Structure 1
Amino acid sequence: MGSTELRKELECPVCLTIYTDPVMLTCGHNFCRDCIDRALNTQKGSARYSCPECRKRFRSRPALQRNRKLCNIVQHFLPSQPYQESGLFCTYCIHAPVPAAKTCLLCDACLCEEHLWVHSKAPEHVLCDPTTSPETRKCSVHNKILEYYCTEDAACVCESCRLEELHVGHQVEKLDETSEKKKKQLRNVLQNLMTENEEVQQRVQNLEDRRRKTLEKATGETKRVTTLLRDLRRRLEELEKRVLGDICRQAKQVSLLYDDVIKQQELRKEELSRKMRHIKKLCNMTDPLTVLQESDTGDLYDTEDRHDKELHDGGDLDVAGISHTLHTGLADIMSGVNVCFCSQNAADIMLDGNTAGNKLLITDDRKAASWSDITWNGPDTPERFQDFPQVMSLQSFSSGQHHWEVHVGLSDSWRVGVCYPSIDRKGINGSLTGYNHKSWGLYRNGSWYSVVHGSTVIRLLQKISSDTVRIYLDCEAGQISFYELSIPIRHLHTFLATFTEPLHAVLCVWAGSVTLSAGN
């Protein structure tokens, strides 16, 4: 392993500098003791501890174990490494190139370990890490070493600059002191960035989990709907076979009946033809005696059709019976198959009169709220909305799926949605539904409709034609959806959020009245 790669292995992942008093967590990662202490102190407020590098979680604050072997490597190996990595060689070693350990800013010379030992005895010589451009560390005006930092001008200055008029009276600090302060600021910034990065990673993980759950739910619903429709098709096919079989059976019975009647009528037809021929023969005879004798047979005068009644009684399909079988079968299919998606309705949702604004009237069943010109001046309690005709529900929802409906047909200025119980009860922006981060709402103002959350208004392009809207809440999925109960039901908008408190239904009405009802 090269020295550069080895140096990388000896850098703390928090401060990105060489380890100072390295300690190890149980997950195997190493940090400076001060760095990991600050990181764990930051996590103390959330009562959740994790490794800044691999994010492994710990149930309690992890114990820090000193990594002695790593301490030895840092102490004994690193001091000889900087000059080996610089690629610079000692100015005074003229017979063979010897790696430089330091650069003297006073002499503008690179020094190896041997020359450095003699050179460093003089206090006026200022040493730094090996560099090819020592002039950058000197004052461009006085060609003196930059030793101070002017905090008012934010500039590095030399001893002569500090005493000149340009910086006289300014607060000046040693470069080392200012550098340490800057490092401390940078470490705080780094710690804040690490904390924010952890929060972002957690949000990404939450979103990934929600997406995975949504996809799993979609897969489950796809299977359920596919099974449902397959069962419906099977039942319909069975019903079709049964009804068509009944029709075919009746058709065969009627056909056989007609065949029998037709045969009888054919025989009757032959008998009538015989009689007609005999009568015509008699009518053409001239002998009266023969006419009288042969016409006295009784069957010539028998013209009654004895089969007409049988034909009329059973000569058609039982259409009423077929329709009854079909309708009964369809009713059995619909009652025997669950076609509803799983969702709990809010059948017992009621309004909390203690939260109602002084311009609202709540009905006795606590299902409807109406706006009044008269201020009824209810008790001035912390729960009551002071600036808007708004009211919350008694019930709250912290888990599961719920939906309820609001009849808004009697008002042309309303607002419905959900909110946290911690929503402000005073203030124009803090308490109005949607104009804060603690509530989500759908509202109508005259002829236009919008959804709003966190003061961000989204105008709906289509007008709501129905007088009823549905609110659907999925606590685990973090979804709040609004629907118009038209035919068919039309989706208006869905908000996605990570809920941190239970949710209440909330109504706000400036004209007319609105009514809560359970979902179907």
Structure 2
Amino acid sequence: MQPGADPPRPSGGGEMPRNTPESRSPSFVSSQPDGSSGRMATLTKAQSEPNLLALEEDLTCSICLSIFDAPVTVPCGHNFCAYCLEQTWASQVRDFSCPQCRTTFPDRPQLHKNTVLCRVVEQLQGCGDGKEDDEHEEEEQEAAAPIYCDSCLQAAATQTCLTCMASFCPEHLRPHYDSPAFRHHQLCPPVRDLQQRKCPQHNKLFEFFCSQHSCCICSLCLLSHKLCHTSPLQQAKDNAESALKKRLAELHNQSERSVQAMNSVKTIQRQAAETAARKRDLLRAEFLEIKALIEEKENQTLKVFMEEEKRVCNKFDYVYKILGNKKNEIQSLRDQIEMALTEGDDVLFLKRAAALQRTSIKEAFVPVIEMDNNMIHAAYQSAINLKDVVKLAVNVSVDKRTDAKPPPGKTKPPSVPSPNKPVVKKKLAADSRTHKDKIPHPTKTTLLEETDTQDKRNPVKLAPSMGAPSMGAPSAANAAKVKELISSFLKKPRAELLQYAANVTLDFNTAHSKVALSERYTKMSVSDTQLNYNHHPQRFTDCPQVLGFQCFKRGIHYWEVEMQQNNFCGIGICYGSMERQGPDSRLGRNSSSWCIEWFNSKISAWHNDVEKCLPNTKATKIGVLLHCDGGFVLFLTVEEKLNLIYKFKAQFTEAVYPAFWLFSSGTVLSLW
């Protein structure tokens, strides 16, 4: 055979297939019974299997999006995995609903295994496994089959010439080594499917890769791809390998971040559970104290009532004893008169009659004995007032005595640490030693919060008024001291004030439905549409306001607020007991809040619905310095030098929260 000449072709009616899997496999070379019978069995099995693969979508659980595992049927007719449905209903105690059609059931349905659906799923899984095994077996057989020489079609090929696009055994490969004409031919280990390496349009070997069309092309295809970015196959392979390695590294980093996030969620979940258990114990302790005080009040009131009852009963016993003696005296006189009437001696009879006539007995007198109605009425009214206080506190404001938590949730966001809040409690016992026992009805309630130490709790007390107490100026004795203290803080540079910096975040549960929170609850803005926030008793309903999550009862605290885009806003502080709806819920319009308000270029200070206009300032960052023990709050402009905008003096009797009011579209505030 001449070098470069085509190998001889066997004579026959058609051309022998070259270098295809069928031509080189044993089943094609010689019809062996084992190979044919295997294919026939596979074909028969595929024809006999029911067409279950088309039902795979119908046999998928709508919760886990996988094939049913132990399917169960709910009363509405839908099917789910038993484990998925149990996990869905695990946190519910009532109003069980179908996860697919939302049909609600009054009681938890009894779940029964759907045996028919189980058999269908088993058949589907068996069919799928069999198909995968057959495909895997065919791939292994094809990979194990040798590659035959394209010249003799009998001996196994040892090299493939990418120039000739043919595979050769050692005998037919000899010209490539001996003849100079084949010296530049490219040889490589045996390769299957050489036709896939050739351009089907020009029948030339692929030499380039078009990244725009993601396909291999030959040198003649470059004319039609002249506007595309093309590169040699080896360079394209290197670039693809680098991209995949980079992608693999990114996926590895993403996986590590996912693991860290999962660990963080578990840690926060554990901390939330510990906090919930701690607060549950606090609640139990508070209610035990409330019950003890109510029982003490009951015992004291009953004791006063029983003492009065005993006093009246003793008086009645005394009068009864006197009347008994009077009765015996009358009976004795009667007996003496009757005996005198039986006397036969006239002289002796007259003597006795004269003596008996001189004996006088007063009429029986029953004095008026009454219980002290004023005392009884006062005791009864005290019980009625106490009942009204408890009823109002329980029925109207029970949610305000619990800590506001997000979600997630609310769930609150996992990145916000739970703050320590001082306890604000109520006195439920009144002085039972006075007959004029009056307990005023509460008008507002306060938050039941965790103590700073969580070990020492204040006793439960009934405040004279449960509304926000009016804030008066410090006493005259401390006025000079407070003034000097304020002056000392105004002289401090910003760097010294930052040592009192508080990590303030926003409380999601208080945000109005048009206040949007972002950047880990440190940025607030006005939304053009209503946000679908869940109902919460602490949420503002009338004014677009939001409170900080942290509260401050004592110490010195400093935070900064940056105003962006618009100045229609208010920055201040308030009590947690401030109203959440109605006109009294506006910041600065009640005795429970203090704020500085920016209305375009107008600046004013507000407290207790009293406005004081202030000089205009163009500062975009505002600092707030709260001194709980000193009884004042300063609003400063944060520039090269801190300048005082306004100061409020007040004796804070409740925990104070940072408060913000955004009343115009485009207003944006950020916490620093």
Same fold (TM over 0.5): no
- Name the TM-score, length of structure 2 as normaliser: 0.35
More strand by share: 1
